[in-house]
Structure formats: structure tokens, C-alpha cells
Chain A
Amino acid sequence: MLQSLIIVGIIYIAALVFFTMSARTKEKSSKGFLMAGANIGAVLGFFTFAATLFSTFTLQGMPDFFRNHGVGAWIFLAISDAVMVFGIISIGYAFRKKAAGHEYYGMAGFMSYCYKWRVAGLVTFFGAFIFLVPYVAIQIRGVAIFLSGAFPDSIPLWAGAVGMVVVMLIYSEIGGLKAIIYSDMLQGILLLAVIWIIGINCLNYFGGIGPMFEEIQQKNEALLSVPGPNGLLDFQFLFGSMIAICLLPFTQPQVSTRLIIMKDTKSLYKLAVGLGFFAILIILPTLFMGMYGAAKYPDATTAEFLNRTFLEDQAPLIAAFVMIGLIAAAISTSDSQLFALGGEIRSLLSGDDKKMLGYARMAILFFAVITLAFALMSSDELVLLTRMSFAGTALMAPMIFTGIFYDRSGFLKIVPLATLIALLILVLSLFGIVPNTLAGVRMDLILLGLLALIAIVAVGIDKNRN
């Protein structure tokens, strides 16, 4: 299989080089480099949004999530995504409209602009940094573990992680966001192809959807309904996940950037509808993989299950494509996230554009090193860590929405301050210093509810005052 992997890998690298060189322009302004000229059409926009959103979390995490928690995983992701796409057209439009009056490079700078207060931008950057770095790291780690598991004598974990970070740094530093967008198109198609090939193979193992669920019914009936065998997919988990995922386009900077760079509102509409269908298309085959794992490898560890399902049970050429697909999935999301963090830094800086862009590029390098270190140390709970990232950044939503929808947000300093406190409390709860739940309710939900309440009350008081 190593031979197949090398051949497919060379083709993939060559395609990346081609896209990077195509995207390379002499224009080195922040708008050109960080925002790809902010003139992206529906097709490119759709692919870059999809590739950024559906990451290793989908390809590796979701099959395992279906295997362990059953069909309720569909509600967890597919329904949340379907609600999210409606949010893109409704809130996305208002977001673009407000951002049109501002030179947008990142949400942090945008919040400074909305609240007319630098602290609001710093809080946004803090939230993005704290909760994005673990998300990027676990994706890199997930694929590095997979590679080292497949080739224990050739690719150690650290080498896989370093290799991926170096590849994404090279093409994003040379070609900027445009190179990332072009490569996202390649990676999105690759991800969809790979996920369906394995999904169909898994379905064929049972001989169809009916026989698949008949076998699951005999093996573990609890997988066929919520809350699943471990009781995880209860109301609070599903509700909290839906809220966090629906807020993603506005709370995770790599996604927000993709709303802003769209050419016009009609392209945004097409992106939203396309993304909804893409979500259904890409999550469905992960269900087949999960059920395959539940039937064939119910007691295997995550790494064993993925290794057997993706590699050992596939033809060598397919397995090689899977590997490259996994790498592509990890890279397409991670590069966008690191790049977005650089954009956040740029958005907080003012002064000579060339110099500020230089700082932003150095920041991307710095974030890559931190992420790499984190990737070598973090846990392997892909889906749960990703959800933590979603929930963490979701806490910024009340502040961001107040900034977008309320013109006098500059008078509401309490909102960014409360957001900062909530972010700190959530971090402390993740370390076990503060309880994870209060009266049986998850801390992330309580904090989000409180922040929403504070924002509503603050707007109400300010309206009355005027």
C-alpha cells in the first residue's frame, strides 16, 4: 500500500503546488492576501466553506460517533447543519451589510469597530485563540495517529504532524487565502469521493440498508434510537450542539471570513443551499461506516476501528486515497483556521499595511508552532473536543450579534466584559476547577443563556435611555 500512497500523494502534492502557483499574485495587500480580494463566486465559495466546515471531525469522528452512539448522531450534526444554513442567509446578510462599512480582516477587528472599544476585539481574539487551537490540534493529531498506525515503522506520530503543518504553511504563506480556497475545492471533492467509496463498501458488507439495521438490531438495539447506548445524545447534548453549530458561521473566524469574501448576496444564497445538500451527502455515508463498525468492530478502540475500516478492509489503491483524503480533510480545515487567526491579528492592527501584513504572517507561523505542540500532547476524543470548541466559541455569539444588529453597541461595554468572564469560567470548568454542570444543566448552556440575557437587557436599557 505504501507504493500506492506515494503515487497518490505525489499527485495530490502536485495539484496543491499547481493551485498555489495559480493563486500566487504580485499583489501583497492584506485584502488580497487575507481576504482573496473578497470577490469569490458561488462555486468556489461553496467548496471552500464546505471543506473548511467538514473536516477530519466528519471523516474520522462521525463514523466513530455513529458506532458508539447510534443514529441520534444524525440529529447531532445533520439537523444542526441544516438549521445552520438557514442562519447563513438570514444573519449572514445582516453581517455582510454591517461589515461593508468596515475594512474587514477578522471578527476581532470587526468587534472593535462595532463596540468602538479595542477590548471587545481582544476578547474576540482570546475566545477564538483559546478554542480554535485545540480544534486545529486534534485534527492534525487525528490524522498523524492514523498515519503512524498504518505505517508504524515508517511514519512516527510527530513526523506526520510536522509534515502536515509544513505543507499547509508553505502553500498558505505563498498563495494566501486564494491558494487555500483553490486547494479547498480539490480537497472538498476528494473528501466527498473518499467518504462515499468507503460508505458504499460498508453498506455492501450488509447487502443494503434494511439488512444493515436488522443486524444492528440484533447486536445493539440501543443504537437505533436516542439517547444511544451510553445515554449521551439526550436533549441537553443535542440542543446545546444545535445552538453551537448554528452559531459557527459567526463565531469561528475561518467560517465568518468565508461569508464576507463572497462576491454578492446571491452567491451567498447559493452557497447556503449547496451547503445544506452537501451536509446531507457527506454525513450519510459516515452513518454506514459507523454501523459497519458497530456490527464488525463493536469493542475495538477508535484507532483500531478506523484503521480496519479505512485501510485493512479496503483495496490498497482505495486505502491510499483514503489516507490522502484524510490528510486533505485535516489540512483544508486547519490551514483555514490558522490563517483566520492570522487575520484576527491583522484586524486588530493599524498602520502601514505591508508591515501589518508581515506581522499577521509571522503570527500564522507562531500559531502553527503552538498548534503543533498541542497536537503532540492532546487527547484523542475527536468529536467531543470539537464540540467543546464549538461550544466555547459559541459564547461569543451574543456579543457578536449585538455588534451586528444594534447600532449603539458602542454604549454596551458590559457585553464584551461579560463574554470575557464567561469564556474564563468555561475554561475553568473544562479543567475541573469550576463544576461542569449546575443543577444538572451543562455549564456552556448556562453561560450562553446568561450572556444572551445580559445582551438583551443591556440593549433594552440603552433603548429606554434614548
Chain B
Amino acid sequence: MNKETLWKLCCAAVILVAILTFTPVITPVGRYKPQLMGMPYTLWMGILQAIVLVGITYLGTLVHPGRKND
């Protein structure tokens, strides 16, 4: 898979993960279970989501088209 395709995959992944924010997958209204280490659902899913987004950003920097053009 070339870098251009990987970059597009990163973009798609960020959009997908961002959209999930507004669904019950991340923000179920009025629900805080299942808990993880005592943390309510939206919080631990939100922390996980933030880490995933930063991870995708890092991967994005490795395959971004601008890397070769600088």
C-alpha cells in the first residue's frame, strides 16, 4: 500500500472516530456503565478515543504527502 493510500486511510479513520463521539458508542445519554477502574463509561471511552486520535495523528505524520515535498 502506498503512502498516499495510507494517508487517506488516516483521514478516514479520524473522521470515523470523530463521528463516533456523537453516537451512543462514546456518549450514551444518561448511562455511565460499564465502568473501567471506577471510571464512568463516557470518560474511559473518551480517554481511549483521545489516545487513538493522537496515535492516528502520529501515523499520519509518517505518511503525509507533505513529508516528501518539504
Contact = CB atoms under 8 A, between A and B. Distances in A.
Interface of A: 71-72, 74-75, 78-79, 81-83, 85-86, 89-90, 93, 97, 208-214, 217, 221-222, 224-227, 235, 238-239, 242, 264-266, 269-270, 272-273, 276-277, 279-280, 284, 287
Do most interface residues of chain A lie in helix, strand or loop, or is the interface mixed? helix
B60 A83 contact: no
Do most interface residues of chain B lie in helix, strand or loop, or is the interface mixed? helix
A280 B50 contact: yes
Given A78-B46, A225-B32, A72 B38 contact: no
Contact of A242 (B21, B30, B31, B67): B21
Contact of B61 (A72, A75, A213, A269): A269
B56 A75 contact: no
Interface string B33-68: 001011111110011011101101110110011110
Contact of B22 (A217, A235, A269): A235
B25 interface: no
Contact of A214 (B10, B38, B54, B67): B38
Nearest to A82: B53
Given A86-B56, A225-B30, A280-B54, 15 more contacts: A71-B40, A71-B42, A86-B53, A86-B60, A89-B66, A90-B64, A93-B65, A209-B37, A224-B42, A239-B22, A265-B70, A273-B54, A273-B57, A279-B50, A280-B47
Nearest 9 CB-CB pairings of A with B: A210-B38, A276-B54, A82-B53, A269-B61, A224-B32, A224-B40, A93-B66, A265-B70, A71-B43
A118 B68 CA distance: 35
A171 B66 CA distance: 36
Given A85-B54, A238-B21, A264 B27 contact: no
Contacts of A265: 64, 66-67, 69-70
A368 B47 CA distance: 38
B13 to A, nearest CB: 9
Interface residues of B, number: 39
Nearest to B10: A86
Nearest to B23: A235
Given A85-B54, A86-B56, A208 B47 contact: no
A90 B11 contact: yes
B40 A79 contact: no
A189 to B, nearest CB: 20
A162 to B, nearest CB: 39
Contacts of B60: 86, 89-90
B14 interface: yes
A224 B29 CA distance: 10
A214 B32 CA distance: 12
A82 B60 CA distance: 13
Nearest to B26: A75
A224 B70 CA distance: 46
A78 B39 contact: no
A190 B57 CA distance: 26
A276 B57 CA distance: 8
B9 interface: no
A64 to B, nearest CB: 18
B52 to A, nearest CB: 8
| Residue in A90, A210, A212 whose Cβ sees the most chain B Cβ within 10 Å | A90
Nearest to A87: B14
A74 B43 contact: yes
B49 to A, nearest CB: 6
Contacts of B53: 79, 82-83, 85-86, 276
Given A213-B39, A225-B41, A79 B46 contact: yes
A210 B47 CA distance: 16
| Residue in A75, A97, A279 whose Cβ sees the most chain B Cβ within 10 Å | A75
A235 B19 CA distance: 11
Contacts of B21: 75, 79, 238, 242
A238 B50 contact: no
| Residue in B27, B46, B50, B53 whose Cβ sees the most chain A Cβ within 10 Å | B50
Contacts of B43: 71, 74, 224, 287
Contacts of B10: 86
A265 B37 CA distance: 40
| Residue in B39, B47, B53 whose Cβ sees the most chain A Cβ within 10 Å | B53
Contacts of A217: 32
